[in-house]
Amino acid sequence: MAVLNSVMRAFAVEALPTPADLLAQHPCSADMAQHIDHHRHQVRQILSGADDRLLVVIGPCSIHDPVAALDYAKRLARLATEYQESLQIVMRTYFEKPRTTVGWKGLVFDPHLDGSNDIGHGLHLARQLLLNINRLGLATRVLALSAYTDDAAIRGMVEAGAVGYLLKEEAPAAIVEAVRAAARGEGRWSAAVASKLARWAVRPAASEVGTDLSSRELEVVRWLAKGWDNQRIAQELHISEHTVRFHLRNIRDKIGVQTRTEAAVWAVRSGFGEG
């Protein structure tokens, strides 16, 4: 007897792409990385008062159409060039609807707008759109503000490149401080989110984990703990990004984690980001 889909209790499960997968399929060039660092420096100068221009963070409330978002970015890029003497324009790129508890939850979670929740495809779309916008000369930054604390939501935003994940009940002052931190290239996480990230990185006999890392792998771990991406690590250590990915695979195997995010959390908890 055939079993109707409506009464089946088993569904297909598809693994999400890892950060390494996304970086490999949608790489950031050296020129673009330099452009991003330049914009971050300009924002830091404005926030510190060294640059008297006005910082303008502007963009769609939430992005549902990458084509329309890129068209918006092209128009904004022209204005950014025209008013660069008095304004530093940064495009807001919302891939997730932070106050939505029912219905559509954003491009990353439901890129087809049909309830299919194809998060893997959403992550690829988000990564590619950020690259396309940066190619126009605009600065972008993703800081997640959400009502969700489930694993899929957190992993999805972190692997898409979010520099922080705050819950919407955070105090306004904390959100403002997180935005400033994001502009400096630093991460900010709500306590519940940070707790999940830490648990994902915890493994038995943690004090013994990582003791067999090579000297080069330890160097990679130190920069990983500081939040550097593969390209920046490669430039610092004068090796290729392929070699960095090779070391990261070995590091993940040795410390017993599956993703780059988990390795970064382990590195921070182990004190590699200090000093």
Do 224 and 233 touch, CB atoms closer than 8 A?
Answer: yes
Is residue 21's pLDDT more than 90?
no
Residue type, 147: A
Confidence band for 142, pLDDT divided at 50, 70 and 90: low
Alpha-carbon distance 187 to 127, whole Å?
A: 18
Alpha-carbon distance 196 to 45, whole Å?
A: 34
Residue 164: enclosing H or E segment and its boundaries? strand 164-167
Coil vs helix vs strand at 1: coil
Return the minimum-mean-pLDDT range out of 43-57, 219-233, 252-266.
252-266
Over residues 45-54, the mean pLDDT reads 86
Torsions phi, psi of 137, nearest 5? 95, 5
Return the minimum-mean-pLDDT range out of 9-18, 40-49, 163-172.
9-18
Q: Which domains does the chain have, with CATH numbers?
A: 19-190 (3.20.20.70), 202-269 (1.10.10.10)
Average pLDDT score over the chain = 79
Alpha-carbon distance 200 to 234, whole Å?
A: 26
Over residues 221-240, the mean pLDDT reads 88
Q: Whole-model pTM?
A: 0.52
CB atoms within 10 A of CB 25: 11
Is residue 33's pLDDT more than 90?
no
Is residue 207's pLDDT more than 50?
no
